Structure 1
Amino acid sequence: MLTALRFFLIPVYIIIFASGHMIPAFLVVIAAGVTDVLDGHIARRYGMITPAGQMLDPLADKLMIIAVIVTLLYAGHISWWAAGALFLRDLGMIVGGLILHFRGKKNVPANWMGKLTTVLLYGAIMFIFFQASFAEGFLWAVIAFSFLTSIVYAGAYRKLNPKQSSQPERPSGPEEPQNQKEA
């Protein structure tokens, strides 16, 4: 239910941002972040983790972040390069996650690096909203950390889903010739 609320908050944020009300728009972003934390806590505490929730929860988060990136870019608050880096990373995570889900692969659970990346990104968004002088530099540090986190997740995925060999197993030991004539 909280995941559905986060999907609903995306157009609410866009409408409020487009009307020029920066603080209420920022509060909607914070509400999305808080509901994300609550949603995860409730699901784990009460054993309500579902495959659909494991797919939809990060999708709601990524779509909110993409909405924020696009609106901040449109308003001229972040550079094309920063927006592009964040957009490509999040789009890659969305598409990759969906592909893995529909191929029946095991999902990599959130780790401390992923959670820290999210907190840092929300911090960068706050600094941008309030036009802090160091916001752009902080955002680039978060972008670099987010790509490092993606590499860690890729390694965890490989450990969780080892590649299956398509070649038949070779027998151990020396092979004996098949067509050997006995004297």
Structure 2
Amino acid sequence: MNLPNLLTLIRFAMVPIYLFVFFSDIQPYRVRILLALGIILFAGLTDLADGYLARRNKQVTQLGTLLDPLADKLMLMAVFASLLISGKIGLWAAGAIVFRDVVMIVCSAVFHMQGLKTVPANIFGKITTVLYYIALFLLMFDFAIAQSFLWIVIGISYFTSMIYMFQVKGINEHWM
């Protein structure tokens, strides 16, 4: 187990910690939301660190390529589930986010099990993740533009997924 993959596993552990804090009775509400947001940001920083370390130390692995986006998606799905349960987003938005992420997770797992290469995170995925983090901040603190911004990010995420699928197809031409 290399350090980048260990950091990815730490991100998996951050998911239940985030949910515990978000749904806790910590008062005042803003403190609880700031703590929850801090956990999300810590997970984001470990994501940046593991990617940087993997590339710098030439420790990019197929396992890491598979687990890294899975950890990101699970965190985002947990966050959006918490926002749905707390009434900060609607069912349609949550459904659109979860549907896309579940499809991406299942496709990546199927590609991996079939021996196909998966694509490491690209600039479009990174931009989409940053935009989702901005949307989360706006939603958690009830900014007026939060819902509109979220729908824009959802649209961008679907576009990014199409790019990913074309890239997977391109690097696996001999298999398909």
Same fold by TM-score, threshold 0.5 exceeded? yes
Question: In 1, are the aligned partners of 2:70 and 2:105 still within 8 Å (CA)?
Answer: yes
Percent identical among aligned pairs is: 44
For residue 29 of structure 2, what is the aligned residue in structure 1?
A: none
For residue 111 of structure 2, what is the aligned residue in structure 1?
A: 100
Structure 1 stretches lacking a partner, 5+ long: 166-183
For residue 34 of structure 1, what is the aligned residue in structure 2?
A: 45
Q: Say how many residue pairs are matched.
A: 165
- Please tell me whether residue 69 in structure 1 is matched to residue 80 in structure 2: yes
Pick one of 143, 161, 179 that aligns with 2:172.
Answer: 161
The DSSP-based 3-state class of the residue aligned with 1:132 is: coil
Q: Partners of 2:63 and 2:50 in 1: how far apart?
A: 13
Q: Partners of 2:73 and 2:175 in 1: how far apart?
A: 30
Runs of 4+ in 1 over 3 A off after TM superposition: none
The DSSP-based 3-state class of the residue aligned with 1:78 is: coil
For residue 171 of structure 1, what is the aligned residue in structure 2?
A: none
For residue 8 of structure 1, what is the aligned residue in structure 2?
A: 13
- Please tell me whether residue 114 in structure 1 is matched to residue 110 in structure 2: no
- 1:114 Cα deviation from its structure 2 partner: 1.0
Matching residue's letter, 1:9:
M
> Which of 1 and 2 has higher RCO (CA within 8 Å, sep 6+)?
2
Q: Partners of 2:104 and 2:138 in 1: how far apart?
A: 24
- Please tell me whether residue 80 in structure 1 is matched to residue 85 in structure 2: no
The structure with more helix, counted as a fraction of residues: 2
The TM-score with structure 2 as length reference comes to 0.90
- 1:164 Cα deviation from its structure 2 partner: 5.2
Q: Partners of 2:85 and 2:105 in 1: how far apart?
A: 22
The TM-score with structure 1 as length reference comes to 0.87
Q: Partners of 2:65 and 2:175 in 1: how far apart?
A: 25
Structure 2 stretches lacking a partner, 5+ long: 1-5, 26-31
Q: Deviations over 1:21-55 (max 9, x none)?
A: 21101110111111101110011101111121111
Pick one of 143, 149, 168 that aligns with 1:138.
Answer: 149
Question: In 1, are the aligned partners of 2:89 and 2:147 still within 8 Å (CA)?
Answer: yes
Larger radius of gyration: 1
Q: Deviations over 1:99-142 (max 9, x none)?
A: 10010001122221111101101110111111110000000000
Matching residue's letter, 1:7:
F
What root-mean-square deviation, in Å, do the aligned CA atoms of Structure 1 and Structure 2 show? 1.2
